[in-house]
Amino acid sequence: MKYIKTFENLNGEPKIGDYVICKEDFSIFVDVDDDDVDFLYFLNNNIGQCVNIIKTQLNYNNFIIKYDNIPPKLKKYFTFDDKTGKKTIYKMTNCRRMSENEIFVFSPDKEYLETIIATNKYNL
């Protein structure tokens, strides 16, 4: 049986290779449909991995998060095109760009995040 340990406070920001749980705000969607709700549920209840960090001109970090086992109807939310002007530098599938404030929690240990998801599922 798994035990529930107290959650650690991780300072700083995610590094490449860290596992993350993201939360995106409903306010970005003008008209919320069933796919949007399914997407937000998927994002809040699945673990992604940081595969790249992009610094913007204002020293603001964007994290490229890769997810596994994405349902086919949600694939449209998980394609990242890095464009400068009209030219695509690279394209990544199963990835999404997230800002630092959209990352709920991160850790180099995936089991730690699985525990957080389990406790949220059962309201512990």
Q: Give 7's pLDDT tier (boundaries 50, 70, 90).
A: very low
pLDDT tens digits for range 74-92: 888 887 776 665 555 567 7
Structure tokens at 97: 């760009």
pLDDT of residue 39: 87
Question: Among 19, 11, 10, 12, which Cα is nearest to 117's?
Answer: 19
Place of tokens 């409903």: 26
Query: Domain extents for the chain?
Result: 19-119
19-56 confidence digits (pLDDT tens): 999 987 666 656 667 787 888 889 989 999 999 898 87
pTM of the full structure: 0.78
What's the token pair of residue 48?
């992604």
Structure tokens belonging to residue 77:
């939310």
CA dist 65 and 17 (Å) reads 10
